[in-house]
């Protein structure tokens, strides 16, 4: 069985090792990508199409990183709850995704690492290596989305297909996952519980509603003959979907177990459910914010990249 109860009748998806396996797999992918870039630049310098650390690019990266750090610090000082790692992860990740999307995976990793270090220095909070990895992974995935935008420029249907596959897989899987909970009520947070079948409906309905919003959004651009906007928004939506489900739901939930003190929250499955419930709304909000920010900043920046 994919979704099962463990020997202690705790609710789990495989086990907490799921996140560990994902961290190892993504770490291998990131390391491989970096090594390939390094060796390719060294062996085929004239054909290298990766990130270029020119003075102009460094200035742009510094500017975007500074904005990300300052915005996170200001929000954290204004709204104290945002210093909590799960909330800070969502806020801090926005500008990191912009940097990665514009400059590529390597710059996304560098920007994410610097941003998180500076934020932790100025806004002391709970530190867990998994949260740090989540920020770095967001920067990397943002860069991958930017590369896909270029590589699949003539095949946008591939990105559209991936969006549908990920949304249906996680919405359906999340609903089935919640349905396996042994009790009638599922604890979503401290003192807040929800009927199991209501949670199933929210997860499945939220996923389908998100797809409907995406369809309407794309149809509006198509009807107004704005095909370029469709090409621009599809990779950003894919980025929001993958980063939300793969990073925030599957990996960050593992860090939540060490952050939250309630005994029920020590169950990997129970830390995942609130994130799955909130995922559809966050996907729409992230897509809108990233698209508007990218659309505003992109014309002002001339990137010295061949990729």
Residue 283: pLDDT band with limits 50, 70, 90: very high
User: What pLDDT is attached to residue 219?
Assistant: 92
Of 302, 234, 286, which is closest to residue 95 (Cα–Cα)? 286
Q: Does residue 85 contact residue 125 with C-beta atoms inside 8 Å?
A: yes
Structure tokens at 71: 């915005």
Q: Please report the pLDDT score of residue 260 as a whole number.
A: 60
More confident residue, 4 or 168: 168
Q: Which residue did the predictor score with more confidence, 84 or 226?
A: 226
- Specify the pLDDT at position 138: 93
C-alpha–C-alpha distance, residues 8 and 41, integer Å: 52
pLDDT confidence bin for 9, thresholds 50/70/90: very low
182-213: pLDDT as tens digits: 777 776 665 667 788 888 888 888 889 999 99
Whether the Cβ atoms of residue 235 and residue 148 lie closer than 8 Å to each other: yes
Antiparallel, parallel or unpaired: β 3-5 and 192-195: unpaired
Tokens matching residue 253: 């939930």
The domains of the chain are located at: 18-300
- What CA–CA distance (Å, rounded) separates 56 from 150? 21
- pLDDT of 15 over the 60 cut: no
Dist. CA 289–CA 243, nearest whole Å? 14
In degrees, rounded to 5, the angle at the alpha carbon of residue 211 between the alpha carbons of residues 216 and 133 is 125
- Name the DSSP class of 8: T
Rounded CA gap, 109 and 163, in Å?
A: 23
Does 165 or 128 have the greater pLDDT score? 165
Output the pTM of the full model. Answer: 0.84
């Amino acid at each position: 069985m994919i979704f099962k109860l463990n020997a202690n009748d705790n609710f789990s998806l495989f086990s907490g090792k799921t996140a560990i396996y994902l961290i190892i797999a993504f770490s291998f992918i990131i390391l491989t990508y970096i090594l390939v870039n390094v060796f390719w630049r060294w062996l085929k310098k004239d054909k290298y199409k990766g990130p270029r650390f020119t003075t102009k690019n460094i200035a742009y990266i510094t500017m975007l990183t500074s904005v990300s750090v300052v915005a996170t610090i200001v929000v954290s000082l204004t709204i104290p709850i945002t210093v909590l790692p799960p909330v800070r992860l969502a806020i801090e990740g926005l500008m990191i995704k912009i940097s990665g999307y514009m400059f590529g995976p390597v710059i996304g990793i560098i920007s994410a690492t610097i941003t998180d270090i500076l934020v932790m220095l100025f806004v002391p909070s709970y530190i867990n290596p998994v949260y740090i990895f989540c920020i770095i992974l967001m920067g990397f995935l943002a860069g991958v989305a930017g590369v896909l935008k270029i590589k699949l420029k003539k095949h946008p249907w591939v990105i559209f297909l991936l969006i549908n596959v990920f949304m249906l897989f996680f919405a359906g899987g999340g609903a089935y996952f919640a349905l396996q909970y042994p009790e009638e009520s599922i604890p979503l947070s401290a003192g807040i519980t929800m009927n199991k079948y209501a949670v199933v409906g929210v997860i499945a309905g939220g996923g389908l509603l998100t797809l409907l919003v995406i369809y309407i959004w794309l149809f509006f651009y198509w009807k107004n003959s704005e095909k370029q906007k469709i090409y621009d928004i599809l990779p950003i939506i894919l980025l929001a979907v993958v980063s939300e489900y793969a990073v925030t739901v599957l990996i960050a939930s593992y860090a939540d177990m060490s952050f939250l003190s309630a005994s029920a929250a020590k169950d990997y499955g129970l830390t995942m459910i609130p994130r799955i419930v909130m995922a559809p709304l966050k996907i729409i909000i992230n897509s809108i914010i990233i698209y508007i920010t990218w659309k505003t900043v992109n014309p002002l920046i001339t990137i010295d990249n061949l990729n």
